[in-house]
Amino acid sequence: MPLWIFPTVLSVAIVVTMVAGIWLVLHLTAFARMFAGNADIVPSAKRSRASKGAVRFALAAFGGGLLLTLALEILVMTGVANAWIG
Question: Domain tally for the chain?
Answer: 1
Range of the domain at 70: 7-85
What pLDDT digit, counting tens, does each position of 32-80 carry?
888 777 666 666 677 778 888 999 999 999 999 999 999 999 988 898 8
| pLDDT at 54 (0 to 100) | 93
Average pLDDT over every residue of 9-35:
91
Question: String of b and e for 25-60 (b: at least 16 CB within 10 Å)?
Answer: eebebbbebbeeeeeeeebeeeebebeeeebeebee
Residue 63 belongs to some domain of the structure: yes
